[in-house]
Chain A
Amino acid sequence: DGGITQSPKYLFRKEGQNVTLSCEQNLNHDAMYWYRQDPGQGLRLIYYSQIVNDFQKGDIAEGYSVSREKKESFPLTVTSAQKNPTAFYLCASKEGRGDQPQHFGDGTRLSIL
């Protein structure tokens, strides 16, 4: 079955700790994205990658880092510099650079201990 797999589903972070959220896709999509969703707000773009070994900052990249060493994987690290990390994190992918829509993984809910 093709799809986007995010793990873990729930994650707790201690103060001062870095945590990494996993996103893997077997759709052979070039583009991958990370969004953050807070209650009552739209999705906000953290980082995106159009191709392997290349990624760009989105609107709220501060306190986050990513890597794109493989086409199928786009992990997101929430660093200790992100002072308000509690949110629902969504990974998405898209085929090509055209008008195709993005498709989402099941999300990771991150909370502070």
Chain B
Amino acid sequence: QKEVEQNSGPLSVPEGAIASLNCTYSDRVSQSFFWYRQYSGKSPELIMSIYSNGDKEDGRFTAQLNKASQYVSLLIRDSQPSDSATYLCAVKRPWETGGFKTIFGAGTRLFVKA
């Protein structure tokens, strides 16, 4: 089982719809959660951070965290073709060697149809 799992997609939604991206993680002591957007051939760009259970909204983006279910999601409202990218879920957990480690999922490809 991968530590951070995402459906690889592609997830295809029409312009203006809500895109829902999901991520599950295996380590219960994980404490920080991040969503990155990565356009093809480019580097990941941080779009959301969430640290406590519940919802966090920023513009058209809402991150949802449920630590009991070990589940974090990203909702994109009013999806635009420019949102078409791969979305990486990242989870920070204690590392066996001390300190903390960020584990990245393989990403979900989102395609927004005009």
Contact = CB atoms under 8 A, between A and B. Distances in A.
B26 interface: no
A50 interface: yes
Given A99-B51, A101-B46, A103-B46, A42 B99 contact: no
B-side interface size class: 20 to 34
A99 B92 contact: yes
Contact of A105 (B2, B32, B43): B43
Central interface residue in B42, B44, B90, by most chain A CB within 10 Å: B44
Central interface residue in A90, A102, A109, by most chain B CB within 10 Å: A102
B32 A99 contact: yes
A72 interface: no
Interface of B: 2, 4, 8, 31-32, 34, 41-46, 49, 51, 88, 90, 92, 97, 99-107
Interface of A: 35, 40-43, 45, 50, 56, 90, 97, 99, 101-107, 109
